[in-house]
Amino acid sequence: MSRSSSVRSTNSCCRSTSTPVPMLTYRAETTLTRACDVGPGPELKPRHWGTIRRMPTLRIALAQVNSTVGDIPGNAAVIRRWSRAAADSGAHLVAFPEMMLTGYPIEDLVFRNSFVDASQRALRALAADLAADGLGELAVVVGYVDADGPAAISSEAAPGNGRRDASALLHRGEVAATYFKHHLPNYGVFDEDRYFEPGDSLTVVRLGGVDVALTVCEDIWQAGGPFTAARRAGVGLVVNINASPYELNKDDVRLPLVRRRAAEAGAAVAYVNMIGGQDELVFDGDSIIVAADGELLARAGQFTEELLVHDLDLPLADAAPNAELATDAAKPQVEQEIPDDMAIDQIVLDFALTANEDRREGGVTERIADEAEVWAALVMGLRDYVDKNGFRSVVLGLSGGIDSAVVAAIAVDALGPERVTGVSLPSGYSSEHSKDDAADMAKRTGLTYRVEPIQPMVDAFLANMSLSGLAVENLQARVRGVILMALSNSDGHLVLTTGNKSELAVGYSTLYGDSVGGYNPLKDVPKTMVWQLARWRNTQGDPPIPENSITKPPSAELRPDQKDSDSLPDYEVLDPIIKGYVDHDLGRAELIAAGNDPALVDRVLRMVDLAEYKRRQSAPGTKISGKAFGRDRRLPITNRFREGN
């Protein structure tokens, strides 16, 4: 028998290798399946087109929850709490996100034996604790980090063994089944080829007569592999646990993707995704359940912690595995004719699908508007960065301009006004309307407000140094940075910097001045979107942002009558060029072909290229686009290649 058709039956977790007699909840339903001999027994009769079958009902719960990297005890406590909620809802199975026990991404923590050992011990302890909690009969699927050998960086590493991005099914106080992620992403923010070894077998667990396949995140984003193997195994359900980072409109991609994999597997798919912020990444949830035919059955909200509970009517498992090249599912209507080359590990549990008196429908939560998506991502990213890193409060320079106003509004929404301090730092060039706008912003939001004039400090520098022009402008910005960092040291605030993606792209910032700070909520937000977000936020209840901050021409106010347009193209022209060059890797010729002025393209590309050293030193900030500065876009600082040369 070829490897692609091999089946390894595992009996250590079951009373016998035959299908147990379950306590089943049935729903009469007409199914159109291809004729296939599925073995003896009163419920396992040969199936033909139009046959009436009675299908067991599995109540599944998807726990769309927040984890913290490295807080293994805290994450285990979250799993226990939400498992109790799942059991109280009558669920037979609850699934938690990818690497829920350790948090995600763990990056180079994976190389520490102590960390991997802690994950493995915690998994076993969690299984025992769930049983002690009276939850032993609940099947709990949870992500963690495992290992079957040294890390790849070790001289003792052996091909095919190493660290594993793993999923486990916990039942009756034991780790009843494990699965190792097969497809490892190595693009964008992902470096999983650096950290993990891929699994080469699909784990299929029989729960009360229903076959359930375990998969992890990237397994659903690529054709072939586990979902093709799941089809060959004839499973009724594929559970896919995820840590899928947010980017704008990603929710529009997920549903078609899950539907394609359901067609590929010939099975229902339950996709659970985490929420929360981790450094520059934020996770938006958007968990989904689809039927084998692609029908959307249930969908959770975005950026909400919740338990999605739904009753799934699933086909009874075959008494024996399919013969080579045979399947109970119809041929997929997608381009998934890719050999999977995976063994199938079958585990049969002594598991009862106890009847529930009611019928649970998870419901489909409506998607939110783009501006609401981005705002929720920025709020969640900032809140989790502050709280998970133990900061009590934040401080920012409140200039009266649009960028600082939007950052202040995000901070107040994320943390509450009592944890936000805005500091007006007027110089001799600060306009009265800017001072008034900053004070108005503080009054509207209720944040703590203070004024620290910088001109005496600037004058003290100039009395001892001969500076002029740009040096004097940068000096003002650096004095402001010194004051904010002093307040951080004095009061324990995290300093928020307020530069947007457009400014970071072209280097329109002062190193160790207005770029100073520990976190930047607008790091991946173009200037034009900053205005868009401000206008949207002002429609949501009492408007926090002064209208004058939105409508006045942007200015750094570091010299008389200064405007951003003195140094930069209009942002409506600049931002599309930046997006093409940075987000989509377009070259000079392609940008010109898109209708941009050649001289302007040359000017912008030169500014972007020369500012790489500044960006390398910039604060982390929430990723919302397909390619953010930092984890996504990695270019050498020393680099003489120029477009068009």
Active site residues: 98, 181, 217
C-alpha neighbours within 13 Å on the C-beta side of residue 3: 9
Question: From CA 287, how far away is CA 308, in angstroms rounded?
Answer: 8
Residue position matching structure tokens 């034009």: 528
Amino acid sitting at position 453: P
In angstroms, how far is CA 92 from the centroid of its own chain?
27
Do residues 180 and 624 touch, judged by C-beta distance below 8 A?
no
Secondary structure (DSSP) of 94-139: EE--TTTTT-S--GGGGG-HHHHHHHHHHHHHHHHHHHHTT-TTSE
H helix count then E strand count, the chain: 18, 22
Which residue shows structure tokens 């093709």?
228
Contact yes or no for 281/249 (Cβ under 8 A): no
Q: Token pair of 525, please?
A: 């937000």
Beta bridge partners of 216: 241
Residues with Cβ within 8 Å of residue 557, at least 6 apart in sequence:
399, 427, 429, 430, 431, 434
8 Å CB contact between 309 and 270: no
CB 283 within 8 A of CB 245: yes
Beta partners for 533? none
Do the Cβ atoms of 499 and 509 come closer than 8 Å?
yes
By the 8 A CB rule, do 441 and 405 touch? Answer: yes
Angle at 253 between CA 247 and CA 256, to 5 degrees: 160
Is beta strand 7-10 parallel, antiparallel or unpaired with respect to 174-180? unpaired
* Phi/psi at 516 (5° precision): -70, 145
Distances (CA, A) of 257 to 296, 304, 461, 586: 12, 22, 59, 26
Residue 81: both structure tokens together:
């709490």
